[in-house]
Amino acid sequence: MEGQQSEVVLFGTWASAYCTRIHLALKLKGIPYEYVEEDLGNKSESLLYYNPVHKKVPVLVHKGKAIAESLVILEYIDECWTNTPRLLPEDPYERAKVRFWVDFYDKKVTAGSLSIFKSKGKEQEKAIEDMVELLRVFEEGMKKDFPGKFPFFNGETLGLVDIVVASVACNYLAVHEVVSEVISPKNNPDFLAWVDALKEHPVVKDTLPPHDKLVADLRERFFSSGY
């Protein structure tokens, strides 16, 4: 579409964890890119052109070709720019395990976090209990499949699992302020230690949305809309 001058363009929204993932990957790889902030209440013609199927962010446009869906984009980045750090291991079995746990986190943990916001009272308490159990399963599974790799999954650099976890879980203090404590040292100590270590990574620090702004956004989206 005319008007896009940069070789790499990311269409996203500032509060989206799915978009944060792409920012993290591009920055870690040292890939220059143009960022276009979208208003999802008034989507641009460019976004609708590049993602006519789902009509949502993130969308990465590389040399005029569009890639949609955050996990697809992350793998595309790793395959297209093969410089270090690599987001996925070289070994096929290790790659398969990474994909399994990323899929688990996305479909179970990320989805479960939304149910916490969309519920109240006893129903919300149950959603938080379910989340604690999901995090325990994730935590134990990661320790079993990748022993000795905490706090960072991929040694000193961030890999695909780190990026996916960081984009969501590193905002846990905002969730606690808006709803209730979900991640605690009592229930998920190793997971929390991992997340706190991820928060200190300079690229993560530079990329996460501002805490106060995110708190205000969460309150507006979930409580002003009737949840």
Helical segments of the chain, H only: 17-29, 45-50, 70-80, 92-104, 111-117, 121-145, 160-169, 172-178, 189-199, 202-207, 211-223
Q: What is the pLDDT of residue 227?
A: 45
pLDDT-derived band of residue 151, with 50, 70 and 90 as boundaries? Answer: confident
E strand or H helix at 12, and its extent? strand 8-12
Average pLDDT over the chain, rounded to an integer: 92
- Average pLDDT, integer, range 172-176: 93
- What percent of the chain has pLDDT above 90? 79
For CA atoms 10, 16, 17, 18, give the dihedral sign: negative
Q: What is the pTM of this model?
A: 0.93
Q: How far is CA 181 from CA 116, 129, 133, in A?
A: 11, 11, 14
Q: Residues 90, 95, 96, CA angle at the centre, nearest 5°?
A: 150
Q: Residues 132, 210, 178, CA angle at the centre, nearest 5°?
A: 40
pLDDT for residue 3 is more than 60: no
- Average pLDDT, integer, range 209-224: 88
Please tell me what DSSP assigns to residue 85: S
Q: What is the pLDDT of residue 154?
A: 67
Q: Name the residue type at position 212.
A: D
Distance between CA atoms of 4 and 181, rounded to whole angstroms?
Answer: 43
